[in-house]
Structure 1
């Protein structure tokens, strides 16, 4: 292992070798299985990665080859990515909830030769499309449950691969060290497919140097300590998970913790009590919704106490934002609230020990952001892009602001280009899109700056502020600037609204399509003895319409007159990634939505009272069906009236 000791830590597998050498007994990764946390120290991780890497080599995997992982966050899937990189290959993580047709696009486009699947369900998805994947040579499964009856020669278990690796090492004792030493910072480590808000996703080529440079900048600025516990629960295909769960954890020597499954994340989060947490807006919105629902279900006394101290906390946070003096009474009430409400709430959320929490991937509504900060959660915003290795700017302690995303780290530059587009230059900028040279040229300026596609500005303090996607920013017919994400985030602050899509560019007023939150609205209906059978049935209830219209009126009271929402349609289904309405990271695909829901948009602005809609519905197994329905258009009324009603 002398060669590993002397090698520079310029690739992710070399960082793993360093950690195994310098901190062999420190926990590197944990995962929960059947209610029990199993810990692997850094030496264990190195042993498994080396054995699996040599198993890949024994099966012909070499430099330039691609390996995909498909499943929930599991230790072996992270090891498989590192193993492929140790052999000079590239990792191509996939979204675990992708339907078969989506898998085909990525696996075929990326020329993937090996897929490491978590379980039988994921194996079956790959087998169903393998005839369309001529480069695919091997499917490896992590969980053996249900796999004993499979006799396909393409299938091997993870354990088999490690066994093959041990046998390969006996015949080639220095192969791993030699391949590891050949790795360079400029080698591609990850093919990260973009979310695809405007069409087919593209494979961004990120090098080891990209990932490590960004991670080192983050660790140098943020309060990260060796041995910190991080919860690794975000989709492995999201580049943000690759940065935090692989790259940054290796750089910082932090411990990744994989929950038992998506349905146990909240319980495992509370049990673990991590030192830090990264979550996209949907996570924070869901947490807030759950809190508000629990408060509404509590006894009258508990509800009154919660509401009082919540209002105290938000009032204090607003005064802090404005740099105004906080009255003694508010300070005293807040101290009492820390023992009565804020501390217990953080404990329930699993955030009592979190020194910092981050939100990124999409804009988070300022009301939601303020709520968590007011309750003592050190929530801060980050901004980035897959093509910039995720992190471009973030807020440091003491500079959290709901209206900006912070400063860029040393070595990274940001400028504002044509039409207010944010452009980036720095060590995290990618090497290009895989097999898409024209798209690469379109994304980079002539002088090498990355065009992010986001509209923003730099405020007098040097903080970057993001408005919306540049192509989505428009104006109402009267010239009022219109950013749909701003309206949508306001609407989603309501616990009864899960998703919203706002319209208004070149139109006389703002209108919105709203998808109710099935869980929250369902509980509300049950408390009132309102029967329902399905999402379609619940969303069509007149009482539910009145509930949502009331919520919109409340939100209108916080908006400028011109931007108040005047007309609303309640959707009869949730926006679904399987139906291509949103991406796997829950970003709205506006172009597709505008085309699919054209009758609704026409009804909004043609004074219609209803819209006839026929659409395709995609099931989890890829089957499609037609849904024909009539959606009612509800008038909210003029803004002044909405303000009076809210008052």
Structure 2
């Protein structure tokens, strides 16, 4: 699209001034901000920022949950030609130091006291950080730090500036060009410092428009914005596509109210990573296990019909009149109330991305009438590379290349992409940019995969992570750790998994149980436990997990290429992997190298033939305190299976 974000905002304000642009739930009541009110607020904040010294081309950090005034602040910065840089609101203060210094940030817009405290904590390490503007004033009344100011005060200064120079704001918006830098997103940094991905107005809006055209999105859509704005997936869906289409974005009151707010809003367009869909389904299954025998029977009977008939119905395939009648009856009794309970009663298009989704999970949602599909993209591609068309949604692919996208496979199996949405480059990192962008304009995704016979893209793993088994009966076999980990995580009782095997004679794994799901399972069996560490060590839980692992092994044996990736031994970790402990990224991607180093004693025990290993681990608690968790972990051998295809 040959326009900019602020111009689109002003277009909506002129064409439909009273239409809702944003809603925010505050104290249990939904508050609406119209397009004209948003344009006025953005104008005031932009003029206030100019008064405070924000310059064209400067970076402005934005930290917080999805909040209308933070969105307005991003639009205000872009109106001046400044560049918003959203950072993860759940990051600890030390994680802000590198991006703030790397981007030479002098100005920050934050949500509340928590984020203010984090930035004040690192101010000595970021001496250039001059202005801190906050949205929520609670707890900040007696703060007297230099440069600390509320957004209300900033807007008031902006009103005065606008009255003195009424043409200033419009001139600044008019000066911006589509090829100007619009935003910068820092990568998750799984192997080192995060990299700043630079995107222009054109790259972000072109992909937003292409995605909207693909799914026929209109201004009548309703979206719930509850994932971190620093994740480009949320940013595209609730910012770029919001402005491209003009639909309504709803901001929940808090993370604790998301499920309630989801039901109240009833979004028509929904986006979430697989773990959100897994969590919703787990909560449903836990509730059903506690239901009466009649309700459990009814649920099981109707779901059997749904799984047999629902996917074919969603894919537009012929279904017999009797099956249609059975499904409609199930819809009246179970599926409709279930969609309403989940908050999906009005969903027209739902997407998942970021990780592979389990086929059972994928089938479940589609079988009850939810149009769940997968997409493929990354921060560097402005998200939209491949999307699944209606009636062509499958659990084992990520869709077809959409308008403007070309895909090429390197000799190594790596996927290369050419698209109008490619990054301009990595900020102040020409070497890294040259590694991923060829002179011909192809982007190295780092993912290994192939195009299947139907034209859909299949992803195997990260290309750099695909290794080989060395020695033993599976010598030379391919090892795809993420593929194995995802298969384990498809089970509701397993939350995280880390597989090892490259350049080793067999595959071993660390497992994190899902505390809620396994806790409910234990309670129904009258199995007492005192917390995560105690529950994870129970022999009954080990047996439960062993059954899951062996099912994965049996499945892997069906594929002659991956049969050598079967898991020989595993242990259940004594603590949950945590981003605050450096074990996961803020988008919950496993830092495999960090974990291998941190738990080297456990890796050695797995491969050394031990049956148990003592470990003591330092942890950070939510209130900022540090402590240790210690346990003696059992190590279990599992059954592996011969490759069925090879045997055939």
Range moving further from structure 2, 242-251 or 361-370 = 361-370
Match of 2:106 among 99, 107, 113: 113
- Which consecutive unaligned segments of at least 5 residues does structure 1 have? 1-7, 641-647
Whether 1:176 and 2:173 are equivalent positions in the alignment is: no
How far 1:321 moved relative to its partner? 10
Task: Please give the residue correspondences for 1:552-567 in structure 2 after superposition, counting only pairs within 5 Å.
Answer: 552-560=549-557, 562=563, 563-567=565-569
**Does the aligned pair in 2 maintain the 1:359–1:382 contact within 8 Å?**
yes
Q: Deviations over 1:433-463 (max 9, x none)?
A: 1111111111112322111111111122222
Runs of 4+ in 1 over 6 A off after TM superposition: 318-325
Match of 2:129 among 128, 136, 157: 136
How far 1:598 moved relative to its partner? 2.3
The residue that corresponds to 2:268 in the other structure is 275
**Does the aligned pair in 2 maintain the 1:381–1:400 contact within 8 Å?**
yes
Distance in 1 of aligned mates of 2:640 and 2:622: 42
The residue that corresponds to 1:15 in the other structure is 8
Distance in 1 of aligned mates of 2:225 and 2:315: 35
Q: Deviations over 1:579-618 (max 9, x none)?
A: 1211111111122222222222222233221233343323
How far 1:505 moved relative to its partner? 3.1
Whether 1:437 and 2:430 are equivalent positions in the alignment is: yes
**Does the aligned pair in 2 maintain the 1:27–1:227 contact within 8 Å?**
no
Match of 2:337 among 318, 325, 344: 344
In the superposition, relative to structure 1, how do residues 318 and 267 fare at CA in structure 2: closer, same or farther (>3 Å)? closer
Match of 2:587 among 570, 585, 588: 585
Range moving further from structure 2, 232-241 or 331-340 = 331-340
Distance in 2 of aligned mates of 1:136 and 1:368: 46
In the superposition, relative to structure 1, how do residues 428 and 498 fare at CA in structure 2: closer, same or farther (>3 Å)? same
Distance in 1 of aligned mates of 2:602 and 2:321: 52
How far 1:89 moved relative to its partner? 0.2
Whether 1:238 and 2:235 are equivalent positions in the alignment is: no
Distance in 2 of aligned mates of 1:576 and 1:374: 33
The residue that corresponds to 1:490 in the other structure is 487
The residue that corresponds to 1:420 in the other structure is 413
How far 1:332 moved relative to its partner? 4.3
SS of the residue aligned with 2:278? helix
SS of the residue aligned with 2:465? coil
Match of 1:606 among 605, 608, 611: 608
In the superposition, relative to structure 1, how do residues 49 and 148 fare at CA in structure 2: closer, same or farther (>3 Å)? same
The residue that corresponds to 2:645 in the other structure is none
**Does the aligned pair in 1 maintain the 2:315–2:392 contact within 8 Å?**
no
**Does the aligned pair in 1 maintain the 2:219–2:247 contact within 8 Å?**
yes
In the superposition, relative to structure 1, how do residues 294 and 45 fare at CA in structure 2: closer, same or farther (>3 Å)? same
The residue that corresponds to 2:540 in the other structure is 543
* TM-score normalised by the chain length of structure 2: 0.93
* TM-score normalised by the chain length of structure 1: 0.94
The residue that corresponds to 2:277 in the other structure is 284
Distance in 2 of aligned mates of 1:219 and 1:131: 44
**Does the aligned pair in 2 maintain the 1:99–1:620 contact within 8 Å?**
no
The residue that corresponds to 2:621 in the other structure is 619
Whether 1:378 and 2:380 are equivalent positions in the alignment is: no
In the superposition, relative to structure 1, how do residues 302 and 510 fare at CA in structure 2: closer, same or farther (>3 Å)? farther
SS of the residue aligned with 1:160? helix
In the superposition, relative to structure 1, how do residues 574 and 127 fare at CA in structure 2: closer, same or farther (>3 Å)? same
Task: Please give the residue correspondences for 1:105-504 in structure 2 after superposition, counting only pairs within 5 Å.
Answer: 105-316=98-309, 330-477=323-470, 478=474, 479-504=476-501
**Does the aligned pair in 1 maintain the 2:5–2:240 contact within 8 Å?**
yes
Q: Deviations over 1:483-529 (max 9, x none)?
A: 22332222222222111222333444433211111112222333333
Distance in 1 of aligned mates of 2:152 and 2:314: 54
The residue that corresponds to 2:82 in the other structure is 89
- Which consecutive unaligned segments of at least 5 residues does structure 2 have? 643-648
Range moving further from structure 2, 438-447 or 176-185 = 438-447
Distance in 2 of aligned mates of 1:270 and 1:240: 22
In the superposition, relative to structure 1, how do residues 317 and 606 fare at CA in structure 2: closer, same or farther (>3 Å)? farther
Aligned residues: 633
The residue that corresponds to 2:599 in the other structure is 597
SS of the residue aligned with 1:10? coil
Whether 1:33 and 2:26 are equivalent positions in the alignment is: yes
